[in-house]
Structure 1
C-alpha cells in the first residue's frame, strides 16, 4: 500500500526552509561523513578474511547455532551461497562478519571461552585478531553513530536519524520528508516543526529499542522521524479534506478525504507489515512509534492552540470552493437559479476578483431579465483590469452583451476607465461606443482628451484614418495641455 499526501503545491508562501535544511543535512551526512565507510568496511573485510578470523569464527558459529534456529541458519546458508557462487572473497567475508555480529550472544560466548580455553595460544590468537578487526571496522562513521540496541546512547539516538544505508534509502526518505514538510512546517512554524520532528524521531527510536533491546545490532535512517510527520499531518489537519494519492494492489486513485482517516490507515499498514515481516531490515516498529508520537504531539499542539489555522485551512477551502463552483455551474445549466446564486454568494465574498466566479455569477443573474443583481454582476466583470487574455476577453464579451440590456448604468469615471482599457486592448469599436457617450456630456475633459488621442492613434495604425479624424478634432475642445495639443497636431 502506498499513500502520498499531495495537498499543497510548493510555493514561496509555504516554502519549507527547515525541511530543506534537514534534507541537506541528511545528504551531507550520507555523502560527506558516510562516504568513506565502504572503503573502511572493505579494508576490514580483507583483514577478516586474510587473518583467518573469518574461517575460525564461521566454524565456531556453525557449531554453536542449534539446528532448530532455522531463521539464523538461513542467514548462514545465504552467506555460504555467495562463496559457492564464487563471489569476491572480501564480499563474502563482509557478509559473514555481519552474520557473526548479528547473533545475540555468540561473541560473548567466544569471549568467555566457549570455543577456546582463555590463556591458550588459540584463544589469544583469536582475541588478538578480533581486537584488530574491531579497531579497523570501528573507523566506520556509520558503525560509530548508528543507534545500537544493546547500548543506549542519547547521542546516537539523535545521529541515527541523519544516516542512511544506501542511495535508495536516502532518496525515498527525502522525497517523503519534502512532501510532508510542505504540509506540516507551515502549520507549526519553523521552530516548533523542528522540535516536533526530532521528538518524533526519539519516539520512533524508543519503540525500536523496546522491541529489540539487547540485540547486537542497530538502526539508522530518518524514516521514524518522517513517520512522526505523518502522525502530525493527520491530526493537525483532522477533519479537513485533503488530497492524496493511494495505491493498493491494483487499485489507485487521487482523492479528497478527511486527513484523520489516514492515521488508522498508515498505522494499521505498519502494524500489518511488522506482524508479517520475516528477516526484513525495515524497522516497522519505529514507523509505528513515530506515527503515534507525531499524532500525540499534534493533539497537544491543538490543545494549546499553537497550530496555524489559516495555513491548514486555505487549501481545503480552495478545493471546497472549486467543488462549489462546479456545482453552481451545473445548477445554472439546469436553470436552477436560486440554488446557483445561493452557492455563489459566499464565493463572491471570498474571491471578489476571481474571473470564474464572476462569470458564473453573471451567468446566473442574466437568466432572469428582471434580475435586480444583473447590473452589479456585469459591473464587477467590467471593472476587471484585464491581466491576461482570458480576462480581457471576458470583459469585452460582457460589455458587448450587457450594453444591449436596458438599464445598464455606469458613472463617468468608471465608463472612462473601461473605454481606455478597451481601446488599449484593441477592442476599438467597443471603446468608441463608450467614448461617444461620454463626449456628449464631457466631465473629465483631460481624461477624455487622452482617451481620444489613444483611440485616434489605434484607428490610424489600423488604417482607419478617416474614423480617427473626429477624435483628433475633439482634443482642442477638451484640453489646453500643450503636450496633448501637440500630439493631436502631429496626428492631424
Structure 2
C-alpha cells in the first residue's frame, strides 16, 4: 500500500472525491431498498413452500456432485441450518442454479414440476427486481450499461469501505499525476477492461459481479508504471510483521498482479473478483505506459516525492550542522551546509549558517563572501529583512565599521531597512558606506531620502540634512538640503 503523499487543499483529488461520493450515493440510496426486496423474496419462498422441493433436490445434487471440501460443507449445512440459510446456500451455488434452470435437477416428468416452475419463476422475478440484480454485471453477457453501473455498486458496507480507502490513496497519486480528465478516462476505461476480463473468465457461467475494485486495480497498475523506478515509501504486512519500506514503484506491479493470479487459481471460490483485479491491473499498466509515452503525465507532480525526500534530508543535515556550530566544529558544519547549498541553492537560513561558520573560523575573504550572499538576498517580507539586518549588524562589527563588500550590495539594503523602520541600522550602514566609498553614486540620494523620513522641524531631520550638506556639498542634493535647513 503506497503511503507517500499527504493530501492538502492544493492537491485534493477532486475527481477521486467525486467518485467516492458517487459510490456512496449508489450504495446508500439506490441499493438501499435491496434488503427489503430480498426479504420479500425470502418470505415468498417460504410461503410458497419451494423449500419442500428444492432443499431435498439440492442435497441429492450435492451428494452426486460432491468433489470438494466446500461441497461437503454445504451438504452438512443443508442438514442443520435454518430455512433462510438453506435458501442462501442454494442461491450462492451457480453450478446448481445452472443445472436447475436447465431442468437437470427437477425435470418436466416430475409431478410437481409445473407448480415448482411457476413458483420458482415468481421467486426469481421478485429477487431480480432489486437494483443490484437489474444493474450488476452478468457473467457471459457483454452489456456496456451493466458494466458501467457495476463499477459503482457494492455488496456490503465492508466492501464499500475497503474499496473507497484504496480509491482515496491511489486516486490522490494517480489523479495528481494525470490531471482530472485523463484520470477519469483511465478509471472508467480500467473498469470496463476489468469487466471484460470477468466476462471472458466466466463465459458460460451464471452469476453477477459488482464493485469498484476492477477500476481501482487499474489505478494500481497505472501507479506502478507512472512512478516507474522512482523509490516510494510503502506500508507492508506479513502475518504479524509490518513496517514501512522504500522500494521502486514498479516492484509492486508483479506483487500485486501475482497475488491476484495466485488467488484466482487457488482461491476461486472466495467470491472475490480476482479476475477483475488482474485484468484491471494489466489494463491500467498498459494505459499508463501509453499516456507516459505521449506526454500526458505531469512529471512535476510525480517528482515531488523525490524533492520532499531531498528536503527532509536537507533538514536533517541542517540540524546536524547547527549542532556542529554549537560545538565549534566549524569544518564539519561547513561541509554539511555547502552540500545543501550546492544541491538546493538560495536558502537564506543556510546562507546565514554559512556566514556563522565564516565568522567563527574563516579568513576575511570567506567572511566577506558569506556576508555578501546574505546581504544580497532578495528580501520582501519583514521576517526575512530582520534576519538579514541581524547579519548586517554583526558583519559591520566584525569589520570595525569598514565593510569590504561591493558598495552596491550595501546600498541596496538601505531601503529594506527603512521599510521595517530600522532607521538606526540604516544610519549605521550609510555611515559605513560613506567611510569606504564617499563618492558612490546614489549615496547622496539615499541620505536625502533618509533625511526626509524624519518628522519636519525635528532635530533628527536637521542633523541628517546638515550631514548631507557637509559631506556631499558637490551633489545635486546639497542645495536642496540647505534650502530645507533655511526653511527651518
Measured against the shorter chain, the TM-score band is: 0.7 to 0.9
Q: Which residue of 1 aligns with 2:394?
A: 401
CA contact (8 A) 1:228 1:290 kept: yes
Alignment CA distance shift 1:321-1:116 (3 Å): closer
What does residue range 137-152 of structure 1 map to in structure 2 within 5 Å?
A: 137-152=127-142
- Residue 432 of structure 1, CA deviation: 6.2
Q: Which residue of 2 aligns with 1:44?
A: 41
Partner Cα distance (1:219, 1:449) in 2: 83
Alignment CA distance shift 1:415-1:300 (3 Å): closer
Structure 2 counterpart of 1:377, from 373, 379, 392: 373
- Residue 309 of structure 1, CA deviation: 1.7
2:278 partner SS = helix
Partner Cα distance (1:475, 1:189) in 2: 60
User: What per-residue deviation string (whole Å, max 9, x for no partner) do you get for residues 185-218 of structure 1?
Assistant: 1322222211211222223223333443333222
User: What per-residue deviation string (whole Å, max 9, x for no partner) do you get for residues 235-286 of structure 1?
Assistant: 1111223333333333433444322222233333434444553642322232
CA contact (8 A) 2:188 2:215 kept: yes
Deviates more, 1:311-320 or 1:441-450: 441-450
- How many residues are matched? 447
Matched, 1:471 2:460: yes
Larger Rg: 2
CA contact (8 A) 2:291 2:297 kept: yes
Matched, 1:96 2:86: yes
Q: Which residue of 1 aligns with 2:310?
A: 320
What does residue range 383-462 of structure 1 map to in structure 2 within 5 Å?
A: 383-386=378-381, 391=384, 394-406=387-399, 407=403, 409=405, 411=408, 413-423=411-421, 430=425, 433-434=428-429, 442-444=444-446, 447-449=449-451, 451-452=453-454
CA contact (8 A) 2:77 2:86 kept: no
1:373 partner SS = helix
CA contact (8 A) 1:5 1:243 kept: yes
Q: Which residue of 2 aligns with 1:62?
A: 59
- Residue 142 of structure 1, CA deviation: 0.7
What does residue range 342-357 of structure 1 map to in structure 2 within 5 Å?
A: 342-348=339-345, 352=346, 354-357=347-350
1:139 partner SS = coil
CA contact (8 A) 1:147 1:160 kept: yes
What does residue range 186-335 of structure 1 map to in structure 2 within 5 Å?
A: 186-275=176-265, 277=267, 279-324=269-314, 326-327=316-317, 330=320, 333=324, 335=331
CA contact (8 A) 1:452 1:474 kept: no
Structure 1 counterpart of 2:26, from 20, 26, 29: 29
2:142 partner SS = coil
Deviates more, 1:280-289 or 1:159-168: 280-289
Partner Cα distance (1:360, 1:9) in 2: 32
Deviates more, 1:368-377 or 1:109-118: 109-118
TM-score, L = length of structure 1: 0.78
Structure 2 counterpart of 1:182, from 159, 172, 191: 172
Structure 1 counterpart of 2:12, from 15, 18, 32: 15
* Structure 1, unpaired ranges of 5+: 84-91, 457-468
State the superposition RMSD in angstroms: 3.6
1:46 partner SS = helix
TM-score, L = length of structure 2: 0.79
User: What per-residue deviation string (whole Å, max 9, x for no partner) do you get for residues 150-176 of structure 1?
Assistant: 433222222211101122221221222
CA contact (8 A) 1:164 1:221 kept: yes
CA contact (8 A) 1:422 1:431 kept: no
1:5 partner SS = coil
Alignment CA distance shift 1:378-1:165 (3 Å): same
* Structure 2, unpaired ranges of 5+: 436-442, 469-476
Matched, 1:156 2:146: yes
